[in-house]
Amino acid sequence: MLDPKLIRENPDSIRQMLENRRASWPVEEALALDSRRRELLAEAESLKAMRNEGSRKVAALKKDDPEKAGLMETLREAGARVKALDSEIAKVEERFEELLLQLPNMPHPSVPVGVDENDNPEIRRWGTPPSFPFPPRPHWEIGEALGIMDFDRGARLAQARFTVLRKAGALLERALINFMLDLHTREHGYEEVAPPFMVNSATMRGTGQLPKFAEELYRCEGDDLWMIPTAEVPLTNLRAGEILKEEELPLYLTAYTPCFRREAGSYGRDVRGMLRQHQFDKVEMVKIVHPDSSYNELEKLTNNAERVLQILGLPYRVICLCTGDMGFASSKTYDIEVWLPSQGKYREISSCSNCEDFQARRMNTRFRSKDTGKIRFVHTLNGSGIAIGRCLIAILENYQRQDGSVKVPEPLVPYMGGLEEIV
């Protein structure tokens, strides 16, 4: 969440942010609630001070002093008023907190102002899309022909947008998971974590999934548990409510998890294949860092995700999301898009974001300066390192052969038990 002082002291910046994000939020109601809260607190504090002073006077008066009964009645009235004020303050604060949880993050000044994905500037490209002497086939045709993807049985076991991977398909998925975890832990300095795949509501609120995205999440009925949409949620919340030592920063965390998303609002998009699934696998990267270094850390985080594609020889581009396309919790986001020959275009495979202190405020995660002792909020970053299913898709399509076989990228061969091609 944003600092309430920003709303109070510079509401125009909030209005401009909402306009740039193409979002709506009741600024005037929030300002009125904040003003009313401060009025109520001032009156309550004044009455409490008066009551304390009156109590001392009552204690000093003799039992039969005629002034005593009147003063005690005044104190009883003051106490009743304080009780009523505290109740109203609680209601005002609850509503204000509710609104704060729905307010998106402030974009960094470097983020381009735009309406949608068409306004996202390209930052760089890597690699050259392959040229085929035949019409490249989509991954679902390749996978079904090789017997490594089963969409019908996935739908039969669950519903549409679930896939069964078999034989070399399942092996390739496992190989990618292990390859990415090894890369991030051994070369990029991340600590591997195996977190729960279900978390409680407080954890979901901490990273901004609740309350805004409740309809896009899977909930366990009867329990305060939600299936995670990404490992970002448990990884970022690992230090929720804590005050870290400055010397502990930065923290680099990575994890493999399945991810669960209802994909509400996406029906009719990417229906074929496994580009958009309700359950998918991902290796996630999370950073908890000093505020002064977070944008340098964002560049390194993005490079870490890019390195996966570079080693695998998959062409990609990096774009910067504009204000109208960026995520709720993000201050700045780079998307990495991999080349898919069957579509003749780049598609998202990783999203790398700096959330600044937006999530830290929701989680109350802070650090103490070793020099001044001052307590500040940390900055949090997250990025896909990368989406396993989409990487598998990209390999099948970019490494396909005319005879229907698929070449296994050389770096994956050891993870595939020496298998060099899928036939």
Task: Evaluate whether 250 touches 293 at the Cβ level (below 8 Å).
Answer: yes
Is 219 annotated as catalytic? Answer: no
Pick the catalytic residue: 43, 348, 401, 405? 348
Pick the catalytic residue: 161, 362, 390, 397? 390
Pick the catalytic residue: 351, 353, 366, 397? 351
Q: What CA–CA distance (Å, rounded) separates 344 from 300?
A: 29
Pick the catalytic residue: 51, 137, 239, 261? 261
Closest CA to 101 of 195, 214, 229, 10: 214
Q: What CA–CA distance (Å, rounded) separates 416 from 402?
A: 22
Question: Does residue 4 have a cis peptide bond before it, meaning omega lies within 30 degrees of 0?
Answer: no
Return phi, psi of residue 229, to 5°.
Answer: -85, -15
Is 261 annotated as catalytic? Answer: yes
Between the alpha carbon of residue 125 and those of residues 121, 285, 314, 334, the distances in Å are: 12, 22, 11, 13
Residue 342, token pair as written in the block: 């069957």
Pick the catalytic residue: 81, 276, 307, 401? 276
- What residues are annotated to the active site? 261, 276, 348, 351, 390
